[in-house]
Amino acid sequence: MRDLTLAEFPFLVSLASSESARDRRIWLRVAIDHFIAAEPNDPDAIDRFADVVALQLDAADAATRLEIACKLAPCARTPPRLLAKFLSAESDACDYVLEHAAACADRDLAQAAALGGRRAVAVARRKTLDPHIAGALAAQGDIDVLVALANNDSARLEGKTLIDLLRRARKLAEQEGDRRLADALLERRPVRPESAMLFLCAAPNQRVEILLAAQRSQLGRPPAPPAPARPQLLEELELAAVARQPERFVAILAEALDCEPDLARRIVDDASGEPLAVALAALGAANEVLVRVLISNDLRAGASYQRIRALARLNNALNRDAAMIVVSALRGEPLALRRQQPSADAGAPQPPRAAAARLAAWPADPPKRKAAK
């Protein structure tokens, strides 16, 4: 194999030892290109190459180091010693290596992630990311790191890692008005049922996708009993709506959903009516109950009849178990898929493909209106 340091070419050797930074940069480009093309497997030759290149990198400027990092990063045979040169100090070259280097060891990535800051952001962007490192990144408090991780579609975010991120995103959005993490998680595909935790933060089209994901998670499972578990609460909800008693309505809804009054109020106050429709579906409310509640409730004043009809169609298309998943997620509970055996009095399951088709076709863009006082 030809010497990786190009020692057999006197002209190139002279460039390597030149006082001109431009000449040395030319040698680096040629030597690196030759190394990558040669695909060397001689450990001694690779060590000699690493020694010479390391000296050149020490004298190179930031732009040259970044250029060489971009060339070496995709190469799986890049000597670890050279990668360590780039990782020795925070720089654009260091960021690029952490994000793209094929030969970067998980140990080095974990150490960089633990340092936080721009290093952790670069690691979070890697297309191949160990799930344990992803979990460590998700546990950090740096919003930039979390957003970078959520934006990385290649990162496997599952189980506790995903739940923790969703909870953090919801807290940031609701308490601090920072939607960056929530928006990044809502953009991830495929949509997971766990994303229902961000249902109130989601755009109309995203809500449809969340409901579809929850619906799909129930395919092949026995349906919930058709009768609501606490029919008296549905009656009280309807009476409170007809009597124009919004505070009482919110209090009863909170009791029916077993949630905090603040969450019940947010469900009711949502101008689209979608969260309330989903909540009523989870309670087993019939379409006529949903329609009467939406028409009668002052908090729904101003909603068009077309919109109410659309919400009634949503109630009809949405599997009750899927609605219960969304409500449980809104309460901050971990996703729990029903695995009960079919009961003798359980109603016939709705054909899943037909229900999914109706749900996907459901209008997702509600008319805009001013919030009720």
Planar angle of CA 317, 302, 248, nearest 5 degrees: 80
pLDDT tens column, 30-57: 989 988 888 888 888 888 889 889 988 9
Long-range interactions of 106-114: CB distance < 8 A, separation 24+: 106/130, 106/133, 108/83, 108/84, 109/133, 110/136, 112/87, 113/137
Give the count of beta carbons closer than 10 Å to the beta carbon of residue 179: 15
Instruction: Give the closest residue to 311 by CA, choosing from 235, 248, 366.
Output: 366
Burial letters for 73-106: b for 16+ Cβ neighbours within 10 Å, e otherwise?
bebeebbeebbebbbeeebbbbbbbbbbbebbee
pTM: 0.77
Q: pLDDT band for position 186 (50/70/90)?
A: very high
pLDDT tens column, 317-342: 788 888 889 999 999 886 654 433 33
* CA gap 97, 109 in Å, rounded: 10
**DSSP secondary structure code for residue 19 in this structure:** S
Q: Find the radius of gyration of the CA atoms of the chain.
A: 29
Q: Are 98 and 152 contacting, i.e. CB atoms less than 8 angstroms apart? A: no
Lowest mean pLDDT: which of 64-78, 114-128, 198-212, 350-364? 350-364
Mean pLDDT of 172-192: 93
pLDDT, residue 351, reads 44
Mean pLDDT of 295-307: 60
pLDDT, residue 319, reads 81
Amino acid sitting at position 194: E
pLDDT, residue 297, reads 61
**DSSP secondary structure code for residue 264 in this structure:** H
pLDDT, residue 244, reads 84
Within 13 Å and on the Cβ side, how many CA atoms surround 140?
27
* CA gap 274, 140 in Å, rounded: 33
